[in-house]
Amino acid sequence: MTAKVVVTGFEPWGTNVENPTLEVLKHLRASNDIDADLTTIQLPVESDKLAEITDRKLDEIKPDLWISLGLAPGSSVVAVERIAANVMDFTMPDNAGRQHGGEPVFKDGPDGRMSTLPVKTIARDLRESGVPAKISNSPSTYLCNQMMYTVLHLIEKKGMNTRAGFIHVPAHPALVAKQDYPLTEMPSMSTELVAKAVKAAIRISLETQDDIKVPTRND
C-alpha cells in the first residue's frame, strides 16, 4: 500500500515578501521521484486557524507521515526540529494581527512534545549526501513551534500512528535578493537543495523505524 504523506509550508509573514517553503512545495508536486501519495498544504500565518486545519486534514487524509516546513531567516542549514514547547510567545503579530504573550498551544497538553521522525538519522544522512543540516532543539515560540506542537498533540489525541515533525529551512536566494543591506548578506540555500533534503527526510522517515542512538554533534 502506498504511504500517504503530508508536507506543509507557510505563506509569507512579517517583512518576508516570499516564503521559500511554498517554492519547495511546488518542487515536490512537480517531482516524479517521491514514492508516496503526496499532499501539500499551504498554511496561513494565523495562529487561530492552525488547529482547525490540522485537525481536518488529519481526519481527511489519515497520513502515515506529516512533515511541516518553516522559514528560518539567517540560518545556513536545514534544521530538523526535535521538540516543540507548549507555549505561544510571539515576538511579532501573526498575519491576522494576533500576538500571543505566553499562552499554551493546548491547555490540556504536556510542556513539550517530541518529534516522532528519526531526527538524528535524517540530519546525519543529509550531511553525508552533501546537504548542510543539523538537529535543532528549539523551533522558537512563534507559529512554527505552534504548528509542530499542534500536529503532534492532535495525532496523539486521535490515537493515530502518523509520524510527524518539523523542519526549518534557510531563505532562498530570491528572498535574500529582495532584502536591503545588511540583510542582503544573510545565508541562502537553493530551492532545489532544500527539496532534495525534504525528499530524503520523507524517504528516511518511511523506511527507518528506530532512530540512531549516538551522541549528538554540536548542533
Query: Is 81 assigned a catalytic role?
Result: yes
Query: What are the distances in angstroms from CA 191 to CA 108, 177, 195, 213?
Result: 38, 14, 6, 30
Does residue 154 contact residue 58 with C-beta atoms inside 8 Å?
A: yes
User: Rounded distance, CA 119 to CA 121, Å?
Assistant: 5
Choosing from 81, 100, 153, 172, which is the catalytic residue? 81
Choosing from 23, 100, 144, 153, which is the catalytic residue? 144
Choosing from 23, 100, 153, 168, which is the catalytic residue? 168
Does residue 33 contact residue 200 with C-beta atoms inside 8 Å?
A: no
- Does 170 sit behind a cis peptide bond, omega within 30 degrees of 0 on the bond before it? no
60: its cell numbers: 481527511
Catalytically active residues are: 81, 144, 168
